[in-house]
Amino acid sequence: MIECKGLTIEQGDFKLSEVDFKIEEGEYAVLMGQTGSGKTTILEAICGLRPIKSGSILLDDREISKLKPAEREIGYVPQDGALFSTMNVAANLGFGLRIRKWSKKKQTNRIDELADLLGISHLINRKTEGLSGGEQQRVALGRALSFYPRIICLDEPLSALDEKTKEEMYQLLLKLKMELNITALHISHSKSEAVKLADKVLEIENGVLNSR
């Protein structure tokens, strides 16, 4: 569950005030709005990447507003994936496990499990440079899911993909939602993505967030 109560965020001249919404456990929510409306700002605040001025952020009824990003245990897929180009696919998938000091055997088992789940076992030893957009997004998803987070945040993960690859990613995201029962917040400006994926649609308009 993700809940924001009276969230106020300021950055220079930009301000979002009194943002309130709740995403129930297991729901897939798509947050929409025009460019510059504050979608990514909200997501980054939830992940701990942007400070808030006031209000509360709760994950599974736990107040996390003052916790460091790593302490929040949120799976995060940044815009354009932001993979580590000097690492191969396996190293990218295992990055979050290494910093959590998992044993090498557990890391290997989890990397193999993720690669199989995401259909990228054949890419495991490839460098990320030169992967297709869809392949890169699958690796970014795997990295975010590696440590079994209950909550995942995705910042426009499909915006750079062609229509065929988007359709494949829709099916993958729906499969992950059903099999893993994760709570998701997905940033998008695409109504078709919301129709395909969302249990709940949140929309920012003129600085006000509405839910439907």
pLDDT digit string (tens) for 97-115?
A: 999 999 999 999 999 999 9
Mean model confidence pLDDT for the chain: 92
* Structure confidence at residue 44 (pLDDT): 94
Please answer whether residues 23 and 154 qualify as being in contact, where contact means their C-beta atoms are separated by less than 8 angstroms.
Answer: no
Is the pLDDT score of 212 beyond 80? no
Would you list the DSSP string of 89-144?
HHHHHHHHHHHTT--HHHHHHHHHHHHHHHT-GGGTTSBSTT--HHHHHHHHHHHH
pLDDT higher at 14 or 40:
40
Choose among 134, 184, 118, 115: nearest CA to 154.
184
Q: What is the pTM of this model?
A: 0.91
Is the pLDDT score of 24 beyond 90? yes
For the segment 122-142, what is each residue's pLDDT rounded down to a tens digit? 999 999 988 999 999 999 999
For the segment 56-74, what is each residue's pLDDT rounded down to a tens digit? 999 988 999 999 998 999 9
Please answer whether residues 199 and 29 qualify as being in contact, where contact means their C-beta atoms are separated by less than 8 angstroms.
Answer: yes
What residues form DSSP beta bridges with 76?
153
CA pseudo-torsion sign 56, 60, 62, 65 = negative
Is the pLDDT score of 207 beyond 80? no
